[in-house]
Amino acid sequence: MSTAGIPQTAVRYSIDSTKSTFTVRAFASGLLSAFGHRPTVVIPDIEGEILFNPDAIEQSSVRIVIHAASLTVTDDIREKDREEINRTMHDAST
């Protein structure tokens, strides 16, 4: 990201995947949602940065790159269901 036009009061933070956790909770919707899973997905392979401008919050930004191949279901569910969810996530990301 270019630093041109970034106010000097802005602070840049880098996302360190070795010290950060990105977790997503997926929810089903619609008529058959009661029969669906609500998996918790961990994304260990991420990178990005946060640009925070305390003087003008509207000029702040977050950029996150998620490496889809690292998506992993962490819930205590049947192995067959876990494999199906993982396969569906990885097939959709290619």
Tokens in use for 62?
């977050």
For residue 25, tell me if it sits in a domain. Answer: yes
Domain that holds residue 28: 11-92
Once rounded to an integer, what is the mean pLDDT over residues 85-91?
82
For residue 83, tell me if it sits in a domain. Answer: yes
pLDDT of residue 90: 79
For residue 2, tell me if it sits in a domain. Answer: no
For residue 39, tell me if it sits in a domain. Answer: yes
Q: How far apart are CA 79 and CA 85, in angstroms?
A: 10
For residue 18, tell me if it sits in a domain. Answer: yes
Helix (H) or strand (E) holding 46: strand 46-52
| Cα–Cα distances in angstroms (integers) from residue 66 to residues 17, 44, 51, 74, in the given order | 10, 9, 18, 17
Q: Compare 7 and 48 and report the one with higher pLDDT.
A: 48
For residue 82, tell me if it sits in a domain. Answer: yes
pLDDT of residue 34: 58
Segment 27-84, tens digit of pLDDT: 777 655 655 777 888 999 999 999 999 999 999 999 999 988 888 888 888 888 888 8
Per the structure, the count of domains in the chain is 1
For residue 88, tell me if it sits in a domain. Answer: yes
Q: For residue 94, what pLDDT band results from cuts at 50, 70 and 90? A: low
